[in-house]
Structure 1
C-alpha cells in the first residue's frame, strides 16, 4: 500500500511510535529503578502520608514522556477520533503482547536452556523469564485501565481548552490535558494493582507513591513543552501551510 498523502504518512508514523512506546512501557515496566542511585545523588527520602522512601520508578516511565508528546501531536492534527482509535489499538496490542508472553512462559523449556545463564548469575532462565514477563493480572488490568482512562480524559480536556482559546496557547492545552489525565492515571493503576490487588497496600502508601509518580509526570510534561512547539513547527513546514491548516481545522471540530 502506497501512502501518497502526507497526512496519511504522518498519522501512520505517529501511530507506530505511540503504540510501540505504549507496549514497550508495559513490558519493561516490571523493573523498578532508583532515580537517586542512577543519578549518583543522595536519597531524597520523601515523607508523605506517614510513608517514607526514595524516588523509585518503573522503567516504563522512560517511555511515557514520548507517549505524552505523541498524544498531544495526534490531538493537534487528527483530533478526538485519532487519539481514541490509536488508544484502543494500543490497549489491544498490550493485551495481545501479554497473552503471548503468558503462552511463551507455559512452553516447556529446553533442559540445556534453563541453566545456560548460570555463569552470568541466572541459575534458572525459565524462572527469570516467567518473573520478568509474567506480570500479575491485577498489574496488567490496572495499567491498561489507567492508560485508557487517562487517554480519554486527555483528549477531552485538550479539546475543551482548544475550543475556549480558539487554537491559541498550545502550551496550555498540551500541558493542561496531560496534568489532568495523568493525575487519574497515576492513582488508578496503583489502586487496582496494589490496593485492591493481592498486596493490599494501605491507603497512606497508595497516596504517597501516587503523589511521587504524579510529581514526576508533572515535571516531565512541563519540561517537554518546548519539544511540542518544536515538533509542531517542524510538522507545519513538512505538511505545508494549506494541509496543516486543514488538518487542524478538522481536528478541532
Structure 2
C-alpha cells in the first residue's frame, strides 16, 4: 500500500521534531558557502563554460524546493535567513583577514592567492547577498502558493515554476549589482539571461532527484505541509 502523508497546516508544525530537517539545513548552508568560495573558477564542460558558482549555487534552489514542499514556507524561511547570515559572516571575516597584515615570511604569492579567494569586493558581497535573499524568498513563495493551487499535484510544475521566478530575480539583481555603470545594459542583460537559462535547465534536469528526495522525506517524516493561511512575510516567525 502506498504511503500517503496527511496534509496539514504549516503553522501547526514544530520543526524540532523532524529527523532530517536540521541536517539538511546544515548541508544547504555549506553548499551556499562553498559555492561562494569556488565561484571564481571557470570550468569547461564540452563547449560550455561555467563558473563554480553557476554549477553549485542552483543546488540551493533545489534545497529550497524541498524545504517548502515537505516542511512548508516557514521552514524554508528559517533556512534562508541562516544561509544569509552565514554568507554575511563569511564575507565579512574574509575581508578582515585579507585586510590585516600577513606574518613576516608569508610569501607574496601566497598572500595573492589568499586575496583572490577571500577578497571579494564589498559591492560583490552586497549584490550576492541581495540576489540570494530575494531570489530564495520568491522561489519559496511561488512554490508554496503553487502547491495550494495545484492541490499537491504535479510537483514538477512547482519546482520548475518556482525556479523560473526565483532565478529570474536572482540573475537580474546579481548581474546589475555587480556590473551596473561599468558595462552596457545590453551586455548585462545578455549575461543575466545566459546564466538564468542555464540555471532553469539545470533545475529541470534535477527534477527526478527532487522527486526522489521529496517523496522519501514525506514518507520518513510523515508530513506534507500545505501553506494555507501562512504569513508569507520574510520577517515574521510563525
Would the TM-score normalized by the shorter structure come out above 0.5? yes
- Equivalent residue for 1:136? 121
CA distance in structure 2 between the partners assigned to 1:172 and 1:225 by the alignment: 10
The residue matched to 1:57 in structure 2 has which SS?
strand
Cα deviation 1:35-84 (Å, max 9, x = unaligned): 3xx43x4xxxxxxxxxxxxx543211221232122111100122111111
CA distance in structure 2 between the partners assigned to 1:179 and 1:7 by the alignment: 32
In our comparison, the structure showing a higher alpha carbon Rg is: 1
Cα deviation 1:127-171 (Å, max 9, x = unaligned): 221122101111111111011110111111112211111111111
Q: Does 1:182 align with 2:164?
A: no
Structure ranking higher on relative contact order (CA contacts 8 Å, 6+ apart): 2
- Equivalent residue for 1:171? 156
Q: Does 1:87 align with 2:69?
A: no
Q: How many residues align?
A: 215
CA distance in structure 2 between the partners assigned to 1:193 and 1:129 by the alignment: 21
2:52 to 59, 80, 83: 59
Please tell me whether the aligned partners of residues 114 and 126 of structure 1 are also in contact (alpha carbons under 8 angstroms). Answer: yes
* Runs (5+) with no aligned partner, structure 1: 42-54, 116-123
Cα deviation 1:178-235 (Å, max 9, x = unaligned): 1111011111101011114xxx110111011111101101110110111111112222
Q: Does 1:73 align with 2:73?
A: no
1:99 to 67, 92, 101: 92
CA distance in structure 2 between the partners assigned to 1:191 and 1:145 by the alignment: 11
The residue matched to 1:168 in structure 2 has which SS?
coil
CA distance in structure 1 between the partners assigned to 2:159 and 2:85 by the alignment: 25
- Equivalent residue for 2:3? none
What RMSD in Å do the two structures reach over aligned CA positions? 1.9
User: TM-score scaled by structure 1?
Assistant: 0.79
CA distance in structure 1 between the partners assigned to 2:28 and 2:166 by the alignment: 17
User: TM-score scaled by structure 2?
Assistant: 0.83
Greater helix percent: which structure?
A: 1
